[in-house]
Structure 1
C-alpha cells in the first residue's frame, strides 16, 4: 500500500506529509486495516537492558513526539517504539518550513526543535494505550528556553513524570536543533547531568518497585576525543545503554542537493557510514555490559545487519520509513535473523 501512497504524500511538504501519514496510519489501525500496511515479521526474541524485545528492530524517536499513535506504530511490526522527544512544557519548535526531503540522496533535513505538547500530554496519551506489542521507550529533553546550567531540572522532571509508564527512558542531549544542547555532551557537563539522572533513576526504582533502564543518545559529529570522554563518563556512571546516533550537521555527500544549505540535522542514507563509524568506535570504548542501539541511515536489511556487525544489540529506523515504507521493518528483522542463523565467517569488514 505504501508504494501507492508515497507519490500522494510526496506531493506535500515534508512536515505536512508527516502529519498526514500518521493520521492515515492511525485510521488504518482503528479500522482494522493494519495488516494491509505491512506483513509482520515472525518473532525474533532479543534481550537488552534487562528487557525482552519481540524483535531487535525499533522506531527511533521523533516520528510520534506526543505518544499519540503508539498502538498503530506497534502494529507495523516494530519490536520497540520510542516516542518523544518530550519536554516539560509545550513548545512550538522552530519556525516553518523546517523539514526538507532530499529524494535523490534518500535523506531528510529537519530543524523541528523539540516541537511537542509537553510531558503531561504525552503521559495522558500513554495512559490510554490499551495494548503494547513490544517495548516502549520515552525520549526526554529540555525546553529551548531552559539554560544549560538548569538543564538537569528539565530532564529530572521528565524522568519522574514518565518513569512509571516507560519500559526505558532515553536522554536526548544530541539534537542539533536546540541551541546549545550538544554542549551537554562535553565531559564535565555530561558527568553532572547523567550523574544527577542516575541518582534519580535509582530513587525512582525504589519508589516504584521497578528499575527502568536509562539510555543516552549521542551525536554522530563527535571527535575521537569526544567519543573517548563520553565513553569514559557513561561507563563510569553505568548507564544502561547508548544510542548511536542522532542526526548530523555535516553535509558530506549532499553538498549540491536542493535544500542542502538548510540548517538542521541530516538523516537518511548519507548518515549511514558516519553513524556506524561512531557506533563502532563507541562500542570498542564502552564496557561490554552496556548494550548499544544503532540508528542512522538504515534503508535496507543489509544496513541493519551492518549496524549489528558494528556492535549494535538493537537497531532503529526513521527516515528509511519515508522512502521505503513499513515493509522496511520486516526486511530488517529477516536480515538480522539470517545473520544470526548463519555460521560465523570471521570478522566483518568496517563500513567505509
Structure 2
C-alpha cells in the first residue's frame, strides 16, 4: 500500500479547483448496522437474518474465504471518526472523497451481506430488495450525486425481473447489477430474460467482481493465497466476457450496454485476439455471431479502470489503452477499499485533455445517461 493512500486526504496537497468534474463508477457504501435495513425488510426476514444469518455458497460461514490485506478491505484512513465501518458515513465520504475530488456523480456498488451469493434465493431476494431501497433512503436521497444500482440475484430469474420492474418504476436507478460468479456462465439462456428487460428499460447491466456461485474461483480449484484469489477476479471477468460474446448476447440484444466493474482492463486485448482467432476456425459452431467477437466487445462493453494494470514503462500502458479503446474506459476509484485509485495519480502515462474528458466523465455520462 502506497504512502499516498495511507495518508489522510487532509494531510495531502489540496487539489486545485478541477476543470474536469469526475464521474466515479465504483463507490462502495456500507451498511452501518443490520437494523438499518429493518424499515425495508419484512419481519419474517428480519428474524431470519437474526436467527440463521447468511447461508452462502462457500465452505465458510459469514465471511469471505480469504482474509483481506486490511480490515473490511478498507484504507486505513477510511474509518469514520463517528464510528461505524468504512463507507457507512455519508458526511465522512463527502469530506474525504466526493468533495475534494469534485465528484459530479458516483455510482454505488453494494457488496454487503453477500447479496448475490445466498443459498436461500428467496431470502437473497428479500435482502436485495431491502438494500435497493436502503441505497435511495440513506444515500441517493441525501446526496443526489450518488446513483443507485438495482441489485438482483440472477439465479432466480423470476424474482430478478420482478425486482427490476419494481425499482425501474421509480426512475432513480442507473443500472442493473448481477454477479460474475453465478451458478452458470452469464451467457447462458437462463439469464437472457434479465438482458431482455434491461434492454427494454434502457438500463446498462453492471457486472462487479466478486460473489460466490458455489464453484472454486479458479478453473483448477481453490487457491492457497489471498493474492491468488484476488488475481482470479480478472480470470472470472475474462471468462464472463467470453461467455457473453460467444453465446451471442450482444447479437441477440443489440441495444444492451454491459459494464465490467473492478476487473481491470489489462486482459482485454488478449481475450479479444484469442476469441477472434478461434472464431475464424470455429465459426460454423456459432452461426448466431454475425461479426468477429472483438467487434462486439468494442461496441457493447465498457470497463472501469480500477484496478489499473500498471506496467513498469508508461508506453506499455499507453499501448494497452489504445488497444482497449479510450471510448471503452470509465474511471473508478473503488473508494474506500485498500486498492483505491486516487484520480490525480491513476494513470502513469500522460493523457490528452480529450482522453481525460472521456475516461473521467463523458464515457460514463453516455453509458449511464446522466
> TM-score normalized by structure 2?
0.47
Question: Would you tell me which structure has more strand in proportion to its own residues?
Answer: 1
Greater RCO, CA 8 A, separation 6+: 2
> TM-score normalized by structure 1?
0.49
Q: Which has the larger radius of gyration?
A: 2
